[in-house]
């Protein structure tokens, strides 16, 4: 099942706000509907957002074929629907480059982005499972954060794809999914996906992660990214940094799995990234609140970054912006 696809002239997504209670599909016919779905997190996760951005431009190209100003405005609204994951703007811009060639060419580019993300997930699953086996030995006990499965990509996933691959190899010890407050991507979505795959797991409250690591119950932390900066700083769901600190203190690897489409060599460090603030309402109805949706894990806390093409050993001084690196087209 694909989280997002183009079906009969509309964008179809699994509505992630309804999971795990309801598995329902939304058909999005307009740019406005797509942007609302992105902002409500009905479609979410960096790679899936890249595909959503590109399909959004395909929708806009059909409606505004004869109105360049309206088209440009629609592309801008899509690019900026959420600020943190680099994939959204990158996917929209890449599709928008095909606008002069017409709506069919834009759609073909969007479908290519979708297919590339599917292939990237498969590559990461294999690369990441090999690295986990190398670093952690047999039957590792892994802690993951947020949701990085097929729901966050198109199919398979990034960090969760690695966990699925280890399960298929019969090489997985245990999985802890941290619940990921306030929207519970771990408790609702990761748990739902792991159950469907037949992977036994437990959910822990976010603040339990570092303690479980200190008690020796976790062999590695493995999670995804919304943006990886040139110096190796990792932007990911709020709570990732706490897990990185816990992992460093416990002396276990902190592994980041993300496609090259999430590597952003144009952003030097995490300090240059806009961290989405999603407002108080998601946190509490009783008092004022601060609700940053992502955080920055400094590169010195990262052991390795696994993309679909590389294993970057950050702990050995390698960076995503190494001279051999040729950045994905934006």
Task: Judge whether 38 and 49 are in contact, CB under 8 Å.
Answer: yes
Beta bridge partners of 4: 13
Minimum distance, C-beta of residue 256 to ligand MRU, in the bound complex (Å): 9
Q: Reply yes or no on whether 226 is catalytic.
A: yes
Contact characters 126-155, ligand MRU, x per CB under 6 A: --------------------x-x---xx--
Structure tokens at 141: 């006990």
Decide: is 44 part of the binding site for ligand MRU (CB under 6 A): yes
CA dihedral 164, 165, 169, 172 (to 10 degrees): -50
Among 152, 282, 153, 145, smallest CA distance to 203 is for 145
- 85 binding ligand MRU? (CB under 6 A): yes
Catalytic residue (one of 226, 233, 295, 308): 226
Matching residue, tokens 């390698």: 318
Query: Shortest Cβ distance from residue 217 to ligand MRU (Å)?
Result: 22
Q: How far is the CB of 149 from ligand MRU (least distance, A)?
A: 8
Residue nearer to ligand MRU on the CB measure, 185 or 191: 185
Return the number of other C-beta atoms located less than 10 Å from residue 200's C-beta. Answer: 10
CB of 176 to ligand MRU, least distance (A): 15
The residue (of 53 and 103) whose beta carbon lies closer to ligand MRU is 53
Please report which helix (H) or strand (E) contains residue 47, including its range. helix 46-63
**Cα–Cα distance between 18 and 46 in angstroms, integer?**
19
- CB nearer to ligand MRU: give 70 or 126: 126
Please, are residues 54 and 6 in contact by the beta-carbon 8 Å criterion? no
> Which tokens belong to 137?
């030995």
**Binding string to ligand MRU for residues 47 to 76, with x set by CB under 6 A, is what?**
x-----------------------------
Decide whether 21 or 66 has the Cβ nearer to ligand MRU: 21
164 near ligand MRU, rule: CB under 6 A:
no
Find all residues with CB under 8 Å of 36, minimum gap 6, and list them. Answer: 42
Q: Is 45 in the site for ligand MRU (CB under 6 A)?
A: yes
Q: Which two tokens stand for residue 280?
A: 């108080």
Could you say whether residue 224 binds ligand MRU (CB under 6 A)? yes
Residues that bind ligand MRU (CB under 6 A): 41, 44-47, 85, 146, 148, 152-153, 158, 185, 223-226, 236-237, 293
């Amino acid at each position: 099942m694909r989280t997002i696809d183009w079906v009969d002239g509309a964008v179809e997504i699994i509505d992630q706000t309804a999971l795990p209670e309801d598995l329902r599909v939304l058909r999005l016919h307009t740019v406005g509907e797509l942007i609302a779905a992105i902002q409500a997190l009905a479609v979410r996760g960096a790679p899936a957002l890249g595909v959503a951005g590109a399909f959004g431009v395909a929708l806009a190209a059909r409606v505004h074929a004869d109105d360049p100003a309206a088209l440009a405005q629609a592309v801008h609204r899509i690019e900026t629907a959420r600020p943190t994951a680099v994939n959204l703007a990158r996917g929209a811009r890449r599709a928008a480059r095909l606008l002069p060639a017409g709506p069919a060419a834009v759609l073909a580019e969007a479908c290519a982005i979708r297919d590339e993300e599917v292939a990237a997930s498969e590559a990461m699953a294999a690369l990441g499972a090999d690295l986990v086996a190398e670093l952690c030995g047999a039957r590792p006990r892994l802690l993951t954060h947020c949701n990085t499965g097929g729901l966050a990509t198109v199919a398979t996933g990034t960090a969760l794809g690695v966990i699925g691959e280890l399960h298929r190899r019969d090489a997985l010890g245990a999985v802890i999914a941290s619940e990921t407050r306030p929207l519970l991507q771990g408790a609702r979505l990761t748990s739902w996906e792991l159950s469907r795959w037949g992977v036994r797991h437990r959910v822990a409250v976010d603040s339990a992660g570092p303690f479980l690591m200190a008690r020796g119950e976790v062999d590695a932390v493995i999670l995804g990214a919304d943006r990886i900066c040139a110096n190796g700083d990792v932007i990911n769901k709020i709570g990732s940094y706490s897990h990185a600190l816990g992992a460093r203190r416990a002396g276990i690897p902190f592994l980041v799995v993300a496609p090259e489409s999430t590597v952003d060599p144009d952003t030097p460090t995490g300090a240059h990234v806009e961290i989405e603030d999603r407002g108080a309402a998601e946190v509490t109805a009783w008092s004022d609140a601060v609700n940053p949706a992502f955080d920055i894990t400094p590169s010195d806390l990262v052991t390795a970054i696994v993309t679909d093409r590389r294993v970057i050993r950050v702990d050995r001084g390698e960076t995503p912006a190494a001279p051999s690196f040729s950045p994905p087209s934006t």
